[in-house]
Amino acid sequence: MGSQTEYSGGPAERRIADLTILYEVSRALQKILDEEKVLYTILVGVTHGRGLGFDRAFILLVGPSGEELEGRLALGPSTPEEAGVIWREMRNKHRSLVETLEQIPRSVVRRDLRVDDIISRFRVPLGEESRPLLQIMRSHQPSLAAGKLFQPRNLPVDAGLAEILGSENFAVAPLYVPGRDLGLLLADNPVTRAPIGASNIKLLQIYAQAASAAIENSRLYGQLTERIAFCERTNQVLRESQQRLLHAERLSTVGRMSALLAHEIRTPLVLIGGFARRLLQATPQGDPKSEELNIIVDEVRRLEFMIDEVLDYSKTARPELESSDINALLRSVLISMAESLQKASVQSLLELDPALPAAMVDKFQLRQALINLITNAIDAMPSGGVLTVSTTRDGNYLEIGIADTGIGIAQEHWNKLYAPFFTTKPSGTGLGLAVVSQVIENHKGSVRFESAPGKGTSFHIRLAIRPDNESGETRVPEVLKSDGLLP
């Protein structure tokens, strides 16, 4: 920083010096793409002793909303004492303008300068077209505030601006690009009191054009960077969607093949199971063959169960809704599974809302989904435990809870839990939860779970009591497929 450079030579030497300043600063600005650093570099060029040499410089820019001109950044000493310290430091280091510009840090840290603080509070609504500063900005011509008037247009100096700057003499140069006003560049000499002549105004005007181009380039680069990032995110989403579509197509093919094979296998399997049970009944107790026949019957039963799961998954379609008592449906499911619960030493607890209204559901599909959840809960409690079945109402929705005190689900399995054919059991098809997910999504409901190792797992099914709300619009709750830990 420092007073305007004095030139010992004639007009030609001064012209060469001015062009050198513009060249050095323009070259430095061309290398910068960060807007904040561009603004700081512009101010350094205006205030450097070997640059334009003003004591202070201020940048006012049209805000992001496009509705007001606002103070953005300032550089310069707040007092003569501070100016003396800065200028002595620069003289001791013998830094040229190029050296100073090259040593501007990559990330400019805004210093807590008083000049920066006061200009940041300055705002002029663009709608107030009669304001002198706005007239200067839109004229694209520089002005000099001398006394209380902007010359050469004899416009009154904004009293608020003069008060903020603490000076009545300052130069103003518009910042603009074709078709768009960017703001204003202000400079003054309140410390040195050096006069601001016509040559200083002209040089500031030329400098402002280079500064305008640098500001616009930094903004365009920022927009381009944002668009590239957006395109990259979009491409990533498209790639993921494509992978999901391919995966879904493969699963669809596997599903059709599985259904076909299940139908073909089911008939001979039923015959094998029937003959094995008849032979077992006809075999005397204690006969060595009875043990082998028991194994055949058990394995056939297991295969029949797996085939039923495959067929249930492949045929799950659009639900046929009817008014159903959810509490009664849950009691019916538990009664049908009483033997399985007893064998597993699992105690069942019912916490049903007695005021729960009937809901429009496909009770056969929902029954299958509930059976799958309770079966999983039983399997998760190999040493016995407590199964809690609950219902609650939440406005136009009801929630069914199936909670166990079992081994819990490892967190690394959460994202794959509803995937078809994924299972952590030594036997099974891995279609149980896939059927649950498909049934609930077909009902436009949601299912979420909470689990913690050693504490158990709880599943929560959320369904609309009526498929349409009062406005007649179908409301689809957000599907939450995995969520949180048990407290």
Q: What pLDDT, on a 0 to 100 scale, did the predictor assign at position 331?
A: 93
Q: How far apart are CA 310 and CA 430, in angstroms?
A: 9
Q: What pLDDT, on a 0 to 100 scale, did the predictor assign at position 362?
A: 87
Is 95's pLDDT higher than 50?
Answer: yes
Asked if residues 486 and 456 have their Cβ atoms less than 8 Å apart, the reply is: yes
Q: What pLDDT, on a 0 to 100 scale, did the predictor assign at position 12?
A: 58
pLDDT confidence bin for 282, thresholds 50/70/90? confident
Tens-digit pLDDT profile for residues 368-412: 889 889 988 998 899 999 999 999 998 899 999 999 999 888 877
Q: How far apart are CA 78 and CA 56, in angstroms?
A: 9
Tens-digit pLDDT profile for residues 231-274: 998 998 888 888 878 776 776 676 667 666 776 777 788 788 88
Q: What pLDDT, on a 0 to 100 scale, did the predictor assign at position 154?
A: 85
pLDDT confidence bin for 356, thresholds 50/70/90? very high
Is 191's pLDDT higher than 50?
Answer: yes
Nearest to 430 by CA among 365, 343, 372: 372
Q: What pLDDT, on a 0 to 100 scale, did the predictor assign at position 311?
A: 66
Tens-digit pLDDT profile for residues 436-476: 888 888 888 999 989 888 889 999 999 998 866 433 333 43
Question: Beta strand 397-404 with 456-464: parallel, antiparallel or unpaired?
Answer: antiparallel
Average pLDDT of span 293-301: 82
Q: How far apart are CA 19 and CA 17, in angstroms?
A: 5
Is 416's pLDDT higher than 80?
Answer: no
User: pLDDT over 70 for what percent of the chain?
Assistant: 72
Q: Output the pTM of the full model.
A: 0.48
Q: What pLDDT, on a 0 to 100 scale, did the predictor assign at position 477?
A: 37
Q: What pLDDT, on a 0 to 100 scale, did the predictor assign at position 397?
A: 92
Q: How far apart are CA 92 and CA 103, in angstroms?
A: 16
Q: What pLDDT, on a 0 to 100 scale, did the predictor assign at position 49?
A: 63
All domains of the chain, ordered by start, with CATH?
A: 11-226 (3.30.450.40), 236-315 (1.10.287), 322-464 (3.30.565.10)
Q: How far apart are CA 334 and CA 329, in angstroms?
A: 9
Q: What pLDDT, on a 0 to 100 scale, did the predictor assign at position 183?
A: 92
> Looking at 222-226, 289-293, 331-335, which range is the least confident one?
289-293
Average pLDDT of span 287-301: 82
Is 182's pLDDT higher than 60?
Answer: yes
Mean pLDDT score across all residues of the chain: 78
Q: What pLDDT, on a 0 to 100 scale, did the predictor assign at position 459?
A: 92
Q: How many helices (H) and strands (E) does the chain have?
A: 13, 15
CA angle 85, 87, 91 (to 5 degrees): 120
Q: What pLDDT, on a 0 to 100 scale, did the predictor assign at position 357?
A: 93
Phi and psi angles of residue 128, each rounded to the nearest 5 degrees, phi first: -85, 75
Task: Out of 27-36, 105-114, 456-465, give the one with best mean pLDDT.
Answer: 456-465
Buried b (16+ CB within 10 A) or exposed e, 140-174: eebbbbeeebbeeeebebbeebbebbebbbbbbbb
The secondary structure of residue 109, as a DSSP letter, is: P
> Looking at 19-33, 42-56, 461-475, which range is the least confident one?
461-475
Name the residue with tokens 């036997």. Answer: 427
Sequence length of the chain is: 487
Asked if residues 55 and 24 have their Cβ atoms less than 8 Å apart, the reply is: no
Burial of 48 by CB count in 10 Å (0-12 exposed, 13-18 middle, 19+ buried)? buried
Phi and psi angles of residue 140, each rounded to the nearest 5 degrees, phi first: 60, 25
Q: How far apart are CA 458 and CA 451, in angstroms?
A: 6
